[in-house]
Structure 1
Amino acid sequence: MFEHFPGDHPERLARPAYHEDFRRHYESGIDSLRKLERGQNFKERGFASWEAFADGDWERAVDLVEEKREIYSRQFRKAERLGIEGRRLRVVEFPITPYVQWEFFALRLRVELGDNIRVMDARGIADAERRRPVPEVVILGDVVLYEVVYDEDGNADGARRFTDPALIAETSAGFDELYERGEEFGRFFDREIAPLAPPSLTR
């Protein structure tokens, strides 16, 4: 699984170029989007809910997630119009980090609106991570694969783009295998996230 990732000669895209390239391929007639998320600590500057979370205001952070409802709804309406099936797999380490605890409230809204998200306990994929963690990737159909890049502070910093069909097929197969092994989002949320006390975190 993911034996040949990352392959050779990716094209490095800065964040604006990545967003433009993603949009172009997303609207090109693909039929699927696969997203594998592995990191446990990121920054989401500009997302009001995350800003409140980073400031230590947990109640406000949870409440502000609702501001994304219409944005997410538009995304899913667009995907339906384009005939794109989206699947997301979120790998979670224990103990759960404050960031992941916060993120799951945003993901819960996405699931409510129709996103297909499953969760994988990182302890359950030790077999796939003997050499390196599973990759943080977005795969659009069988056309393009992006390895999402973050800077040392956890800020999104663009992506590496791969177009080798064999690498895309292998990585997609690895994703599909893990997705089938993943746990239903709501069950995981109710058992592991909902009972947690508010995290203690300030900038």
Structure 2
Amino acid sequence: MLEQLSGLPAEVLDLTSYRNDFQENFWRVDASWKLERQITFKEPSSPSWVAMAEGHWEKSLRLADELRAARAEHQRQLDRHGITQRRVRFVCEPPTSYLQWELHLLMIWAELGEEIRILPADTIAHLETHSALPEVVVLGDRSGHPVMYDITYTDGVLAGARKFTDIHLVASCRDEIRDHWRQGEDLLRYFPKKIADLPPPAPQGV
């Protein structure tokens, strides 16, 4: 069902509306499921990403690590609300500059409690005969009314989302994401083997 989302009607949210809607729904649910498929994005609002993109790798890693305290507080809030965050991240080898950078960031998230699994992108080639799977977040697992966002980008930069609330559609997509997640390798095991010792990535360009 995930590969069919682009052809289904949805509520279109611009960036501000998406962020507001996400925050309104996020703290009401028991879990979030995220699927990340694309291997190159741009995050100009992140100083760490900008440093990587400009070729300053050590500075980028230092800035990423400075996010640890805020992320730890975020995890404490999740724990108080009983919210579990799970993510499946599709990867390629060798990784793109963006992917190498993001996996360093996600390693911090994983160390603090987010449950992140890694899968090679070629494992879903049979699902991508027309286009790549979308970037999707599902809010809600066993409680509350589930909400799903098909996240949209313009030239690699976050632009908003398409929102779905049909219970059966959202449940079907959530189950697919869960299946991918179960098949994946824990980032805490994957990272030391595949990412930790790589040389600095090539500048991505801002």
**Same fold at TM > 0.5:** yes
Residue 128 of structure 1 is matched in structure 2 by 127
Does residue 144 of the first structure (1) align with residue 144 of the second (2)?
no
Provide the rounded CA distance (Å) in 2 between the counterparts of 1:57 and 1:178: 34
Q: Flag the 1:202–1:148 CA change in 2: closer, same or farther, 3 A.
A: closer
Residue 195 of structure 1 is matched in structure 2 by 197
Contact 1:33 1:138 in 2 (8 A): yes
Segments ≥4 residues shifted beyond 4 Å:
none
Residue 186 of structure 1: how far off its partner (Å): 2.0
Residue 97 of structure 1 is matched in structure 2 by 96
Residue 173 of structure 2 is matched in structure 1 by 171
Provide the rounded CA distance (Å) in 1 between the counterparts of 2:113 and 2:150: 24
Provide the rounded CA distance (Å) in 2 between the counterparts of 1:78 and 1:98: 31
Q: What amino acid is aligned across from residue 149 of structure 2 in structure 1?
A: Y
Provide the rounded CA distance (Å) in 2 between the counterparts of 1:202 and 1:72: 25
Q: Flag the 1:196–1:145 CA change in 2: closer, same or farther, 3 A.
A: same
After superposition, give the CA deviation of every residue in 1:107-157 in whole Å (9 maximum; x if it has no partner). 1111111111010111122233234322210100151100111102x1110
Q: What amino acid is aligned across from residue 168 of structure 1 in structure 2?
A: V
After superposition, give the CA deviation of every residue in 1:62-113 in whole Å (9 maximum; x if it has no partner). 1111111122112211211111111011111233101100111111111111
Aligned length: 201
Does residue 181 of the first structure (1) align with residue 183 of the second (2)?
yes
Provide the rounded CA distance (Å) in 2 between the counterparts of 1:3 and 1:64: 35
Contact 2:3 2:133 in 1 (8 A): no
Contact 2:97 2:204 in 1 (8 A): no
TM-score (norm 2): 0.91
Q: What amino acid is aligned across from residue 65 of structure 2 in structure 1?
A: E
Residue 113 of structure 1 is matched in structure 2 by 112
Judge which range, 1-10 or 163-172, deviates more: 1-10
Following superposition of structure 1 onto structure 2, how do residues 73-84 of structure 1 map, counting pairs within 5 Å? 73-84=72-83
Q: What amino acid is aligned across from residue 15 of structure 2 in structure 1?
A: R
Residue 7 of structure 1: how far off its partner (Å): 5.6
Q: Flag the 1:137–1:182 CA change in 2: closer, same or farther, 3 A.
A: same
Residue 10 of structure 1 is matched in structure 2 by 10
Judge which range, 120-129 or 36-45, deviates more: 120-129
Provide the rounded CA distance (Å) in 2 between the counterparts of 1:15 and 1:185: 29
Residue 65 of structure 1 is matched in structure 2 by 64
Q: Which runs of 5+ in 2 are unaligned?
A: none
TM-align CA RMSD: 1.5
Q: Which runs of 5+ in 1 are unaligned?
A: none
Contact 1:5 1:171 in 2 (8 A): no
